[in-house]
Each structure stands twice: as structure tokens, then as C-alpha cells.
């Protein structure tokens, strides 16, 4: 009933009388009033006037199915699991991935106590000012081709933000979302596979939305961006998440259709890596070169000083001029 009342108030975009609500939904006016109060407790701002009735004027920024909406027929985000607190949405997504959850299930959390980056690094996500979520995918791809999913996910994030806010972000290979010269977000892709077969992939996305600079740990203060720091305004996480899930569905469909070239072309359009001087730091070596392109399997092609080309599949890539890399 509460859902129906909310739906009616959203549709009307103006006052609806208590009588109209009680008649159309077949409940008493006292029942309507009770549900309205419950909605208010959940953060919906509903004005009331004895003559005109009720009017919805503000939505809470909650990340469950009430405010995060996906178009009919969309698979990504059709199932949403939301937590107030969790260790890591990727951990939970892997658990339900193992248990057989449907393709496209999305796990969100207000706060993570153990948000993870790559190779055991920490991801600061101890407050509800960002978007911390994971998507479970069941792609029919060979395990070697999964790296391209991280690139596709970065494109989905950038295009989702353009769609909702008309703000242009960049992508730093392989998994950073950049705004200005700082890190706005990151992607952690994890895989469960057997030889030749992918069981599931978890794409974990962390995106800073409404943080002020004091919300970041000391060591991140010069490196981290948030959409609020960039625009000076607070943004709806639910709307941004809905936009990203929609663009994710689009790019994932391209991936399954074998349109890898088109995905790389999109990625190149947003890349802040290609054409720049990069410092590659892997377990074995460290060198400086120029990022040339991204290969169809998602590897970064780097031209070294001596003219040789090297393909980088993992390790740390620093891009000159970004997040503190200045050449000494
Ligand atoms: C990443 O790792 O950038 C991937 C981050 C993925 C986080 C999401 S949140 C939902 C899901 N659940 C999880 O547990 N994880 C995923 P990496 O490239 O390794 O970058 C990690 C580095 O980014 C850290 O060492 C810090 O320097 C920096 N960092 C940490 N928290 C940050 C934040 N909130 N904003 C910007 N930079 C941050």
C-alpha cells in the first residue's frame, strides 16, 4: 500500500487529496495518513495541506529498489541487494555468485568496513557519501577475455555520469575514473573460473559522490576527487547509480555481441592514459614509456624509450601529471 501511495504521489507531481488516495486505493483516510507518516520517517518529504492534500517534494537518497530504478527488460540491476553496513560488496557478491544468484544482481552498501582495491589495497568507503556497489555477471566468455570487462565497466561509469550530470570524467588504464587530475572512482573485477569457462565475474565499483575533502583520509586528500568537490553541489546517488546500471547494460550487450573494437574506441575517447608518458611498475620491472593504445584483449601497449613495444596486462601504471606523478 505504502508503495502505491508513493507511486501515486510521484506520478501526480502535485497535490493529491487524502480522499482521492483513500478512494482509489480502497483504504481509510487514517490508513493513508499512517503510510504517509511512515514514508516521511524513511526520508520522503511530503507536504500536507488540509485543503489540498499531500504533495511529494523531496526524495531520500536510498540505494534500494525504491529509488534505484532500471528500465523494463534490463537485466543489470533487476535484482538489488542493499546493506547499511557490510565488509565489502564484492565479498557478498562472490558469495551469492557461488550460490547461483541471477546474472545482473547488484549489491549496494551505505558503508563498507573492509572496502578493497586491487592487490590487497584498501578502498575508503566508511561513509554513505559515495556509491559502493558490485555487479554479478555470468558472461559466456573465455577467462582470458575477462579483462575487457573492466574497460567496459569504466566506459559505463563515465557514460552514466555524462547521462545523469553532463560531467565528463576520464579513464586511467585499467580501472581508475579520473575527474580533474584526481581519482573519483575505481573498479575491482574478480573472477571465478575453471579452465576455459567463467563461472561468474564480480565488477566492484567505488565512486566518490558527496564527500567534502575532510571526509577523505589524510593520504587521499590530494589524490581523491568527489562530484560534490567538483560541482559544489550534493548529488543523488540513487539517480547516478540508476544511470550507470543503464549504461552498463548497453555496453555489456555490445560486449556479448562481439563489439570489442567499438568498446575500445569508446574507451579511447575517454582515456587519459593513451598518448601520455607512463611509469609502469610491475613485480619484476619498472620503466617509463609512452602509452600507445589498448589491444583488443584490454592490455596496454607501451612504447619504451628504445622503441620497443611492450604489452602490460597488470601492475601499477602511473600517468604523468595525474595523482602526484611528476617526473624527477
Ligand atoms: C581500485 O583499486 O581503485 C578499486 C576500488 C574498488 C572499490 C569498490 S567499492 C565496491 C566494491 N567493494 C569493494 O570492496 N571494492 C569495490 P586500486 O586501483 O588498487 O586503488 C586503490 C587505491 O586508491 C588506494 O591505495 C588509495 O590510494 C586510493 N583510494 C582508496 N580509497 C579511495 C577513495 N575513496 N577515493 C579515491 N581514491 C581512493
State pTM to two decimals.
0.92
**Whether residues 49 and 138 fall in one domain:** no
| pLDDT (average), residues 267-294 | 91
107: domain CATH number?
3.30.930.10
**Whether residues 217 and 304 fall in one domain:** no
How many angstroms separate the CA atoms of 134 and 190, rounded? 10
> Which of 61, 139, 72, 131 minimizes the C-alpha distance to 104?
139
Q: How far is the CA of 121 from the centre of ligand 1 (A)?
A: 7
What pLDDT band is residue 145 in, cutting at 50, 70 and 90?
Answer: confident
Residue 328, pLDDT > 70, answer: no
- Determine the distance from the C-alpha atom of residue 25 to the mean position of all C-alpha atoms in its chain, rounded to a whole number: 37
Residue 284, pLDDT > 90, answer: no
Q: For residue 63, tell me if it sits in a domain.
A: no
| pLDDT (average), residues 262-266 | 96
Report how far apart, in Å, the C-alpha atoms of 161 and of each of 179, 213, 250 are. Answer: 11, 21, 14
- With a 6 Å cutoff on the Cβ, whether 18 touches ligand 1 is no
- pLDDT the model gives residue 149: 95
**Whether residues 193 and 145 fall in one domain:** yes
Residue 315, pLDDT > 80, answer: no
Beta bridge partners of 271: 171
Eight-class DSSP state of 208: E
- With a 6 Å cutoff on the Cβ, whether 136 touches ligand 1 is no
**Whether residues 131 and 34 fall in one domain:** no
Q: For residue 144, tell me if it sits in a domain.
A: yes
Nearest residue (by CA) to ligand 1, atom 30, is: 123
Substitution candidate for ligand 1 out of 106, 186, 225 with most atoms within 8 A of CB: 186
| pLDDT (average), residues 61-90 | 94
167/64: higher pLDDT: 167
Beta bridge partners of 304: 289
8 A C-beta contact, residue 251 and residue 265? no
Q: What is the pLDDT of residues 161-217, one digit of tens each?
A: 999 999 999 999 988 999 999 999 999 999 999 999 999 999 999 999 999 999 999
**Whether residues 130 and 194 fall in one domain:** yes
Nearest residue (by CA) to ligand 1, atom 28, is: 123
Nearest residue (by CA) to ligand 1, atom 3, is: 186
**Whether residues 202 and 107 fall in one domain:** yes
- With a 6 Å cutoff on the Cβ, whether 123 touches ligand 1 is yes
Over pLDDT 90: what percentage of the chain? 80
Q: How far apart are the first and last CA of the chain?
A: 65
**Whether residues 301 and 253 fall in one domain:** no
Residue 326, pLDDT > 90, answer: no
What pLDDT band is residue 81 in, cutting at 50, 70 and 90?
Answer: very high
Q: Which domain holds residue 17?
A: 1-58
Q: For residue 208, tell me if it sits in a domain.
A: yes
Q: For residue 74, tell me if it sits in a domain.
A: no
Number of domains in the chain: 3
**Whether residues 119 and 217 fall in one domain:** yes
Least confident window among 35-49, 57-71, 149-163, 187-201: 57-71
23: domain CATH number?
1.10.10.10
For the four alpha carbons of 56, 60, 61 and 64, in that order, the dihedral sign comes to negative
227 phi and psi, to 5 degrees?
A: -65, -35
Q: For residue 248, tell me if it sits in a domain.
A: yes
**Whether residues 260 and 295 fall in one domain:** no
- pLDDT the model gives residue 327: 63
Q: For residue 328, tell me if it sits in a domain.
A: no
**Whether residues 92 and 159 fall in one domain:** yes
Pinpoint the alpha helices (H) of 166-234. Answer: 227-231
**Whether residues 231 and 116 fall in one domain:** yes
**Whether residues 251 and 125 fall in one domain:** yes
- List binding-site positions for biotin: 88-90, 112, 116-118, 183
Amino acid at each position: 500500500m505504502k508503495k502505491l501511495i508513493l507511486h501515486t504521489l510521484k506520478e501526480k507531481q502535485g497535490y493529491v487529496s487524502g480522499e482521492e488516495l483513500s478512494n482509489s486505493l480502497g483504504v481509510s483516510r487514517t490508513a493513508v495518513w499512517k503510510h504517509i507518516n511512515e514514508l516521511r520517517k524513511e526520508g520522503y518529504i511530503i507536504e500536507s495541506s488540509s485543503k489540498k492534500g499531500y504533495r511529494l517534494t523531496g526524495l531520500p537518497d536510498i540505494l534500494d529498489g525504491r529509488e534505484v530504478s532500471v528500465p523494463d527488460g534490463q537485466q543489470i540491476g533487476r535484482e538489488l541487494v542493499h546493506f547499511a553496513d557490510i565488509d565489502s560488496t564484492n565479498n557478498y557478491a562472490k558469495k551469492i555468485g557461488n550460490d547461483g544468484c541471477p546474472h545482473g544482481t547488484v549489491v549496494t552498501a551505505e558503508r563498507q568496513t573492509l572496502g578493497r582495491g586491487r592487490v590487497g589495497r584498501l578502498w575508503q568507503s566508511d561513509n554513505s557519501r559515495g556509491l559502493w556497489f558490485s555487479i554479478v555477471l555470468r558472461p559466456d566468455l573465455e577467462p582470458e577475455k575477462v579483462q575487457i570487462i573492466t574497460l567496459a565497466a569504466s566506459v559505463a561509469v563515465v557514460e552514466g555520469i555524462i547521462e545523469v550530470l553532463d560531467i565528463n570524467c576520464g579513464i586511467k588504464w585499467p580501472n581508475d575514473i579520473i575527474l580533474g587530475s584526481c581519482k573519483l572512482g575505481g573498479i575491482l573485477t574478480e573472477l571465478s573460473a575453471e579452465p576455459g569457462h567463467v563461472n561468474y565475474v564480480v565488477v566492484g565499483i567505488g565512486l566518490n559522490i558527496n564527500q567534502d575533502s575532510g571526509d577523505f583520509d589524510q593520504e587521499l586528500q590530494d589524490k581523491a576527487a568527489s562530484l560534490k568537490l567538483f560541482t559544489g553541489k550534493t548529488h543523488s546517488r540513487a539517480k547516478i547509480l540508476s544511470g550507470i546500471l543503464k549504461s552498463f547494460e548497453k555496453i555489456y550487450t555490445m560486449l556479448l555481441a562481439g563489439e570489442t573494437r567499438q568498446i575500445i574506441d569508446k574507451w579511447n575517447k575517454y582515456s587519459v592514459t593513451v598518448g601520455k608518458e607512463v611509469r609502469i611498475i610491475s613485480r619484476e620491472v619498472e620503466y617509463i614509456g609512452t602509452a600507445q593504445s589498448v589491444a583488443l584483449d584490454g592490455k596496454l601497449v607501451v612504447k619504451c624509450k628504445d622503441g620497443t613495444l611492450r604489452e602490460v596486462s597488470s601492475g601499477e601504471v602511473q600517468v604523468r601529471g595525474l595523482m602526484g606523478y611528476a617526473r624527477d
